[in-house]
Structure 1
């Protein structure tokens, strides 16, 4: 898994909490990446019906309430995959070794079960949950400053 998923969540929290629509430059500054990468992620979110973007100064806005956007929906939009894929098995185990001949089906089965747990967690977690956690984190960090 690359960083498109975490970038998308970061972006969606910003867009949701902003008083006015944010453009790709503003979002890129917060995420710590370039605006073209933000636009790439935004295109995928837009195709999935999660955000809409207007070129130029106007920026992005959510098409749904945060409580109606699951993290699984976000994952599927940006990773362009129906299944959550977290683990990979090494590609060239030796057929000359009994473990090498059998490791892929063993690990693939175990990894798929773990990924199904992750899928269920993402399906049950919304953008609103992330926003709540972010607000708590901000409040906590401000107390320690």
Structure 2
């Protein structure tokens, strides 16, 4: 099974920008080095974050900033910005002649919807600032 890291990488980018100071290299290459990814992936994610209003950038310049305070950007904002699919997925292929196979998709879809709603509520309560603060605290240990 292949997992998407887009949400994690987008949060990483925002946190990197949130922690940065005037001496920090904010190039896609530097951020990609932090993520251990490639600059083109970072540029695509930064374009999405810019288009959805989470970061401000100046074309042709290495100038990035969060569009608002890190405490005002939630993980849910990031999740919605990158249009990540549902967290959980129901297998669409089941045996409809079986009592479980015939009913599992609807039953699981209802359960997964509840989980999705709860996860989104939790994401709304966690800010980029909390991630920044946690990283800075870990770095002091």
Same fold (TM over 0.5): yes
Partners of 1:102 and 1:137 in 2: CA distance: 47
After superposition, where does 1:1-145 map in structure 2 within 5 Å?
A: 2-20=4-22, 22-56=26-60, 58-79=62-83, 85-140=86-141
**1:73-125 deviations in Å (ceiling 9; x for gaps):** 111001267xxx11001121011111100000111111111111100001111
Tell me which of the two structures has the higher relative contact order, counting C-alpha pairs closer than 8 angstroms and 6 or more residues apart: 2
Task: Compute the TM-score of the two structures, normalised by the length of structure 2.
Answer: 0.90
Runs of 4+ in 1 over 3 A off after TM superposition: none
Task: Compute the TM-score of the two structures, normalised by the length of structure 1.
Answer: 0.88
- Per the alignment, in what secondary structure is the counterpart of residue 64 of structure 2? strand
Give the root-mean-square deviation of aligned CA atoms. Answer: 1.6
User: Is this contact kept in 2: 1:24–1:59, CA < 8 A?
Assistant: no
Query: Which ranges of structure 1 fall in alignment gaps of 5 or more residues?
Result: 141-145
Query: Which ranges of structure 2 fall in alignment gaps of 5 or more residues?
Result: none
The count of residues paired between Structure 1 and Structure 2 equals 137
